[in-house]
Amino acid sequence: MDAGCPRLPDTVLFEIFLYLDHADVLSVGLVCQQWRAVARDEFLWKELFYRYYRVSRDVPRHPGAVSWYDEFQRLYDTIPCVEVQALKEHSDQVLHLSFSHSGCLFASCSKDCTVKIWSNELDISLQHSSNMRPYNWSYTQFSQFNSDDSLLLVSGVFVGPHNSSSGEIAVISMENFTLLSRVRNKPYDVFGCWLNETNLISGNLHRIGRITSCSVLWLNNAFQGIESENVNVVKRLFKIQNLNASTIRTVMVADCSRYDSPDLLLDYEEQLAASSTCPVFDLGSDSEEEGAKPKTPPKPAVQELPDSGGVPAEHGLQQLFDGIMEGHVRPAMTETELETKVAELFVRNRTKPPEPNLLPTDSNSKTKYLIFTTGCLTYSPHQIGIKRILPHQMTTAGPVLGEERRSDEFFDSLDHVIDIHGHIIGMGLSPDHRYLYVNSRAWPRDCVISDPMQPPPIAEEIDLHVFDLKTMKEVKRALRAHRAYTPNEECFFIFLDVSRDFVASGAEDRHGYIWDRHYNICLAKLQHDNVVNSVAFSPVEQELLLTASDDTTIKVWRSPRAVRIRQARRPRPRKLLFSWLLNQKS
């Protein structure tokens, strides 16, 4: 081939042979003589693209592509699918990976109870390791750099009195790797996240009944004195009631300021048909049919109780108790159903209404969304809660502990809820924060949950859903390929990551997976020897991907193009030096 021509897979060459349809085409050489004509033939490359990648012909070309040939080249030459390095410094399962915003560093968390900081150079090397066992941690599970990469948030499982486990968040300075503060975090799978450069969000859980609880989300200052490292909660953000053994978990913050200028707009299906609406529900919606109806203004995040007749909550609660005592309540309720009913009645007039106009209208809006997993039917996370954080709430200044609230408004309502109808096992934001990607394992269709402590069985196949946070609608059909096998009670989080053009996820089938965001196709499987827990794209170079596994290794993957470029840049020994070394040996 010509020197400048990229190497094509054999299957692609075979397709070209079929297209040229020459009886005497017996070698690659003859194809190369016609290469310039082939490279300019848009019809050829369009046909090859749709056939080779099995893309529906309703899907248009990527908006950033100049030609079908360039698009074909992008998908076979820029996918990070070549293993270039395996990092084996961890001694136990590696659970999470996170890059700094500059891409110069990344952090890894592990069951060996360390958080390791790595330098991302030509060859990745270990820069620092912090052991959290002296602080009674069992293991580290999550990390996140703040926006200027000066601080690292590390989340882990803390072993308390009588071997009780909870969560804790540590803040580490990237200047000298010193521990700045520690914050309790309950339950531990809240993980925690940064709200801005110096303030982070943690959680706490208060039990009210056997299956009823209250989640409190706190705003913490990262810089705390040593004497207050365990009592550094500064300001309460939200207090939310949990029903049927559900809790708030997996918090993250989305910035709305870039919604009108996304890196990649996933709207071609709406442009072609706009025929289907997504299963997005306000809390209280029970079915896909209800979710498909035209949207009404946001409702309070507490399910409406039937046949209330406009009776105040206090009177309704009294009527319920009177009915139970007099034997008038039919059908008979179980203890669990009774607790849920009482909790719903109690909270009806004690919840602050949701914020109006959730969807941002100003492209320069400083509004942020707090996003988390939750539920209303069972303990397994099956809904995504969204709560708007207003500018005045983004600082620790002002009233603390919710002093600005009326005493009879105990709880905050959710502004929006997305029902997934399955067990959520992973979430990730696109780089522009416009789209939310969600890993879930579906429940059986038409399943009925009668006991919140016994959720429905979950599918082995993982569905990867995509939601537009500007419209609160599902914009793509679910991506599939990866699998998981653990049952509900043993199900664990599998982290995913999103770059400008790709989305990647781990899986329990010993592989990481990469999909194209525009075409909705699986592009690569990345092999490990055990479960792949986490993946991470470099934020400045999407042709670099990391995968972390239970096999204790972190694998580094680069695209074929990046490998060629890096090999060309490597310094080669000078001929004189090489001759001298040979003479020395002789």
What is the C-alpha separation between 179 and 225, in angstroms, rounded? Answer: 11
Is residue 105's pLDDT more than 80? Answer: yes
Same domain, 103 and 65: no
H-run or E-run covering 23: none
Query: Are the C-beta atoms of 555 and 90 separated by less than 8 Å?
Result: no
Whether 457 is covered by a domain: the verdict is yes
What is the C-alpha separation between 465 and 436, in angstroms, rounded? Answer: 8
Higher pLDDT, 586 or 334: 334
Lowest average pLDDT, out of 261-275, 440-454, 554-568, goes to: 261-275
Q: Mind listing the pLDDT tens digit for each residue in 495-505? A: 999 999 999 99
Same domain, 416 and 560: yes
3-state SS, 456-519, equals CCCCCEEEEEEEECCCCEEEEEEECCCECCCCHHHCCCCCEEECCCEEEECECCCEEEEEECCC
Q: Is 470 exposed, middle or buried (0-12, 13-18, 19+ CB in 10 A)?
A: middle
Same domain, 138 and 182: yes
Query: Are the C-beta atoms of 237 and 253 separated by less than 8 Å?
Result: no
**CA distances in angstroms from 434 to 170, 259, 261, 262, 355, listed in the order given:** 29, 5, 9, 7, 20
Query: Are the C-beta atoms of 224 and 242 separated by less than 8 Å?
Result: no
Phi/psi for 448 (5° steps) reads -120, 130
Same domain, 504 and 533: yes
What is the arithmetic mean of pLDDT over 69-88?
93
Query: Are the C-beta atoms of 111 and 139 separated by less than 8 Å?
Result: yes
pLDDT of res. 127: 96
Name the percent of the chain lying above pLDDT 90.
Answer: 51
Same domain, 391 and 410: yes
Whether 95 is covered by a domain: the verdict is yes
Give the chain's mean pLDDT. 79
Q: Mind listing the pLDDT tens digit for each residue in 520-572? A: 999 999 999 999 999 999 999 999 999 999 999 999 999 999 999 988 776 65
Token pair in block for residue 208: 């009210």
Same domain, 93 and 48: no
Whether 284 is covered by a domain: the verdict is no
Is residue 470's pLDDT more than 70? Answer: yes
pLDDT of res. 284: 29
pLDDT of res. 36: 55
**Domain boundary at 54, 78, 102, which?**
78
**Domain boundary at 28, 53, 78, which?**
78
Q: Mind listing the pLDDT tens digit for each residue in 158-194? A: 887 766 678 999 999 999 999 999 999 999 999 999 9
Looking at residue 372, its amino acid is F
Phi/psi for 27 (5° steps) reads -145, 160
Whether 328 is covered by a domain: the verdict is no
pLDDT of res. 582: 56
- Strands of 137-145's sheet in order across: 137-145, 151-159, 165-173, 179-185
Token pair in block for residue 128: 């620092």
Q: How confident is the model at residue 292 (pLDDT cuts 50, 70, 90)?
A: very low
For residue 60, give the CATH number of its domain.
Answer: 1.20.1280
Query: Are the C-beta atoms of 206 and 225 separated by less than 8 Å?
Result: no
Closest CA to 299 of 415, 394, 396: 415
Domain that holds residue 93: 82-260+364-568
Whether 526 is covered by a domain: the verdict is yes
For helices 10-20 and 42-53, give the axis angle rounded to 10 degrees. Answer: 130
What is the arithmetic mean of pLDDT over 280-294?
33
Rg (CA), the chain: 27
Lowest average pLDDT, out of 38-42, 403-407, 420-424, 506-510, goes to: 403-407
Same domain, 40 and 143: no
Closest CA to 415 of 266, 254, 233: 254
What's this model's pTM, rounded to 2 decimal places?
0.81
Same domain, 173 and 94: yes
Residue 337 neighbours by CB distance under 10 Å? 16
Query: Are the C-beta atoms of 463 and 478 separated by less than 8 Å?
Result: yes
Whether 117 is covered by a domain: the verdict is yes
What is the C-alpha separation between 460 and 442, in angstroms, rounded? Answer: 8
What is the arithmetic mean of pLDDT over 385-414?
71
Same domain, 58 and 108: no
What is the C-alpha separation between 160 and 135, in angstroms, rounded? Answer: 10
Same domain, 33 and 167: no
Same domain, 506 and 474: yes
What is the C-alpha separation between 430 and 238, in angstroms, rounded? Answer: 25
Residue 15 neighbours by CB distance under 10 Å? 17
Q: How confident is the model at residue 311 (pLDDT cuts 50, 70, 90)?
A: very low
Q: Mind listing the pLDDT tens digit for each residue in 345-356? A: 666 666 677 766
**CA distances in angstroms from 510 to 514, 527, 532, listed in the order given:** 14, 6, 6
Task: Please state the domain count of the chain.
Answer: 2
* Cα 237 from chain centre: 22
Same domain, 87 and 47: no
What is the C-alpha separation between 470 and 416, in angstroms, rounded? Answer: 12
Token pair in block for residue 227: 């004497």
Whether 353 is covered by a domain: the verdict is no
For residue 436, give the CATH number of its domain.
Answer: 2.130.10.10
H-run or E-run covering 354: none
pLDDT of res. 279: 35
Whether 225 is covered by a domain: the verdict is yes
Closest CA to 548 of 78, 109, 83: 109
**Domain boundary at 23, 47, 78, which?**
78
What is the C-alpha separation between 193 and 198, in angstroms, rounded? Answer: 11
Interstrand relation of 151-159 and 94-99 (parallel, antiparallel or unpaired): unpaired
Token pair in block for residue 417: 């809820």
